C-alpha cells in the first residue's frame, strides 16, 4: 500500500514514532566509524576531521600592512593638522624593506607587505599626497585607524583552530593551507549499499514494458550519497521476491556499514522487506508519523545498519534528508549541529493537512518586496509527484497537530 493513499485520520497510528523520536533512536544506535585516513587538501572537501587541528605557526606570520599606502611612526606625527614626512623606500608584498624607520621617515607599502618593526601607522594611499619624496596627510586619518595587521591576529601558534568532527568546506581548507598544512586526518568514508525493490522497476536505458516504470530512487540515492561524500555500493533492482531480497540484503551486510533499500516496506502483498528483516536482522522501528514517509523501517542486518525507505520517490527523498542524512553524519564522525536552520515565512498558499502526523510539503521560498520571506507550495503534494520536489527550494514543516494553513499564516521552512 502506498503512503499517499492512506492519509486520512484512520491512518493515525499511536504506536508510530514522531520524527524526533525516530531521529533519536537512529542516532543512539550508531557509533562513529573509527578508521582514519590522511588526505591532501585537494582531496578532503566535505570529509570529516578525525582530530583537532593545532596551529603550527602564527597567521599572519609577520606584522603587515592592511592597505596600499605609506607606513610611518606615530611618534613623528603632530597631534593635529598635517604631517609632512620623507619617503625613503618601499616595502612590497613579498619584498620587505629591511631597515627600521628613522625620524620623519615613511615608506611606500602595499597590502600584505612586512612593516618595519618600529612602523606603527599606515595611512591609505587615497588619503595621502605624494610629491616626489615628500608625503603629506591629515593626521586625523592616521588616528582614526592604523591599518596595521598584527602578527598572529588571525591565528596564534598553538591555537586549536578546528575540532575533530568538523566537516571540511572551502573555508576550512583555506585555514589549513594558511597554516602550511598539506593535508589532514579524516574519518574514512562510510560504505553504503543501495537497492531498489519492485517488479515494476526497470533501469533507465532499458525499455519498460507496459506495466513498468523507470527506477528513479536509485539514481536519486546515488546522487544523495555522492553529495554526502560516502561510498556507494549499487546493488541494483531486486525483484519482489523474499529469497532474492534476503540474498541481496545479506550480500549488502557483508560489505556495507549501512544499507538503504527503497520500496516494499509497507503492508501490501508484495511488501517483503519487513518479514525478511525479522528473519535475518533486527528491527528497531517500523513506522513514523511523518508524511511523506510513514512506513519507514530502521534496524540492523548483521553489522550493518539498515534503512528500508518507502518506495514513493518523494518519500525516499524526504526521509533520506530527515533521517538518513543525520545517520550518515553520525557514522562519518561529524559533530551534531547545535541547531537546525529553520526560517519562518508567510505562506501564500492554502495548505491542506490532516492532524496526527508531521508533514513536509514542498515549497518555493522567496523574498517579498519589503524583505519578508514568502513561501508557496509547489502544486500537488502526493508522494509520487516528483516534479513537486524538483521545483522546490524548501520544505514546509507542518507540525503534527496542524490542520492546514490559510494564506497569510506563518509556517516553518527548511531551505533545501
Ligand atoms: P512500495 O513502497 O514498494 O509499495 O512502492 C510505492 C510506490 O513507489 C509504487 O508506486 C512504486 O511503483 C513506487 N516505487 C517504488 N520503488 C521505486 C523506485 N525505485 N523508483 C520509482 N518509483 C518507485
Ligand atoms: Mg513495491
Do 12 and 145 fall into the same domain? no
Q: What is the pLDDT of residue 11?
A: 52
Domain of residue 392 covers 343-415
In the DSSP assignment, the letter for residue 319 is: H
Do 354 and 271 fall into the same domain? no
Do 174 and 31 fall into the same domain? no
Q: For residue 28, what are the β-bridge partners? A: none
Give the distance (Å) from ligand 2 centre to CA of residue 3.
11
Do 274 and 133 fall into the same domain? no
Do 27 and 134 fall into the same domain? no
In the DSSP assignment, the letter for residue 158 is: T
- Per the domain annotation, does 368 fall within a domain? yes
Q: Is 177 exposed, middle or buried (0-12, 13-18, 19+ CB in 10 A)?
A: exposed
Do 272 and 160 fall into the same domain? no
Q: Is 263 in the pocket of ligand 1 (CB under 6 A)?
A: yes
Do 320 and 197 fall into the same domain? yes
Q: Is 69 in the pocket of ligand 1 (CB under 6 A)?
A: no
Q: Which three cell numbers stand for residue 293?
A: 514517509
- Per the domain annotation, does 270 fall within a domain? yes
**What gap in Å lies between CA 416 and CA 398, rounded to an integer?**
16
- Per the domain annotation, does 395 fall within a domain? yes
Which stretches of the chain drop beneath a pLDDT of 70? Answer: 1-12
**What gap in Å lies between CA 196 and CA 370, rounded to an integer?**
46
Which of 1, 237, 262, 292 has most ligand 1 atoms within 8 Å of its beta carbon, as the pocket-test mutant? 262
Q: What is the pLDDT of residue 341?
A: 83
Tell me the residue ranges of DSSP E strands in 27-140.
36-40, 53-54, 64-65, 69-72, 82-91, 105-109, 121-124, 128-131, 134-138
- Per the domain annotation, does 337 fall within a domain? no
Give the distance (Å) from ligand 1 centre to CA of residue 415.
26
Do 249 and 315 fall into the same domain? yes
Do 200 and 315 fall into the same domain? yes
Q: What is the pLDDT of residue 293?
A: 85
Give the distance (Å) from ligand 1 centre to CA of residue 259.
17
Q: Is 311 in the pocket of ligand 1 (CB under 6 A)?
A: yes
Do 134 and 206 fall into the same domain? no
Torsion of the alpha carbons at 348, 349, 354 and 358, rounded to the nearest 10: -50
Q: Report yes or no: 100 and 118 within 8 Å, Cβ to Cβ.
A: yes
170: helix, coil or strand? helix
Q: Is 264 in the pocket of ligand 1 (CB under 6 A)?
A: yes
- Per the domain annotation, does 126 fall within a domain? yes
Do 260 and 312 fall into the same domain? yes
Give the distance (Å) from ligand 1 centre to CA of residue 206.
17
CATH of the domain at 385: 2.40.340.10
257: helix, coil or strand? coil
Start-to-end CA distance of the chain, whole Å, equals: 28
- Per the domain annotation, does 338 fall within a domain? no
- Per the domain annotation, does 286 fall within a domain? yes
Q: What is the pLDDT of residue 110?
A: 98
* Residues within 5 Å of ion ligand 2, judged at the Cβ atom: 198, 263-264, 311
Do 274 and 204 fall into the same domain? yes
Q: Is 2 in the pocket of ligand 1 (CB under 6 A)?
A: yes
Q: Report yes or no: 88 and 133 within 8 Å, Cβ to Cβ.
A: yes
Which of 195, 211, 212, 312 has most ligand 1 atoms within 8 Å of its beta carbon, as the pocket-test mutant? 312
Q: Which of 149, 179, 204 is the last residue of a domain?
A: 149
- How many domains are there within the chain? 4
CATH of the domain at 83: 2.170.190.11
CATH of the domain at 48: 3.90.105.10
Q: Which ligand is nearest to the CA of 309?
A: 1
**Sheet bearing 258-262, strands edge to edge:** 231-238, 191-197, 258-262, 304-309, 295-301, 282-287
**What gap in Å lies between CA 239 and CA 270, rounded to an integer?**
10
For residue range 206-221, list pLDDT tens digits in order.
Answer: 999 999 999 999 999 9
**What gap in Å lies between CA 325 and CA 329, rounded to an integer?**
6
Amino acid at each position: 500500500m502506498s503512503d499517499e493513499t492512506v492519509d486520512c485520520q484512520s491512518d493515525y497510528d499511536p504506536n508510530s514514532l514522531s520524527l524526533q523520536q525516530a531521529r533519536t533512536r537512529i542516532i543512539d544506535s550508531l557509533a562513529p566509524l573509527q578508521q582514519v585516513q590522511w588526505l591532501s587538501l585537494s582531496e578532503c572537501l566535505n570529509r570529516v576531521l578525525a582530530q583537532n587541528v593545532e596551529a603550527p605557526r602564527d597567521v599572519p606570520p609577520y606584522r603587515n600592512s592592511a592597505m596600499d599606502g605609506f607606513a610611518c611612526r606615530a611618534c613623528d606625527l603632530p597631534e593635529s593638522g598635517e604631517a609632512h614626512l620623507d619617503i625613503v623606500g618601499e616595502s612590497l608584498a613579498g619584498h620587505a624593506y629591511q631597515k627600521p624607520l628613522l625620524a620623519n621617515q615613511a615608506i611606500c607599502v602595499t597590502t600584505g607587505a612586512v612593516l618595519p618593526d618600529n612602523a606603527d601607522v599606515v595611512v591609505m594611499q587615497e588619503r595621502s599626497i605624494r610629491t616626489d619624496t615628500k608625503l603629506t596627510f591629515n593626521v586625523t586619518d592616521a588616528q582614526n585607524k592604523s591599518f596595521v595587521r598584527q602578527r598572529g591576529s588571525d591565528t596564534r601558534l598553538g591555537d586549536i583552530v578546528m575540532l575533530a568532527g568538523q566537516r571540511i568546506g572551502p573555508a576550512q581548507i583555506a585555514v589549513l593551507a594558511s597554516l602550511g598544512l598539506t593535508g589532514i586526518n579524516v574519518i574514512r568514508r562510510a560504505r553504503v549499499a543501495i537497492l531498489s525493490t519492485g517488479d515494476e522497476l526497470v533501469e533507465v536505458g532499458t525499455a519498460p514494458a507496459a506495466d513498468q516504470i523507470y527506477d528513479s530512487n536509485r539514481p536519486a540515492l546515488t546522487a544523495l550519497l555522492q553529495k554526502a561524500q560516502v561510498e556507494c555500493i549499487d546493488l541494483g533492482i531486486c525483484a519482489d521476491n523474499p529469497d532474492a531480497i534476503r540474498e541481496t540484503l545479506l550480500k549488502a551486510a557483508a560489505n556495507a556499514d549501512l544499507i538503504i533499500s527503497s520500496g516494499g516496506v509497507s503492508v501490501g502483498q508484495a511488501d517483503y522487506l519487513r518479514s525478511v528483516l525479522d528473519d535475518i536482522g533486527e528491527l528497531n522501528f517500523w513506522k513514523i508519523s511523518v508524511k511523506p514517509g510513514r512506513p519507514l523501517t530502521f534496524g540492523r542486518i548483521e553489522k550493518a545498519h539498515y534503512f528500508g525507505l518507502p518506495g514513493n520517490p518523494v518519500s525516499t527523498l524526504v526521509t533520506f534528508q530527515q533521517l538518513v542524512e543525520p545517520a550518515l553524519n553520525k557514522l562519518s564522525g561529524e559533530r551534531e549541529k547545535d541547531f537546525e536552520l529553520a526560517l519562518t515565512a508567510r505562506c501564500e498558499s492554502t495548505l491542506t493537512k490532516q492532524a496526527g502526523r508531521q508533514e513536509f510539503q514542498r515549497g518555493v521560498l522567496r523574498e517579498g518586496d519589503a524583505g519578508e520571506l514568502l513561501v508557496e507550495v509547489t502544486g500537488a503534494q502526493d508522494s509520487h509527484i516528483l516534479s513537486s520536489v524538483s521545483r522546490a527550494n524548501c520544505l514546509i514543516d507542518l507540525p503534527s497537530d496542524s490542520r492546514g494553513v490559510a494564506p497569510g499564516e506563518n509556517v516553518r521552512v527548511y531551505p533545501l
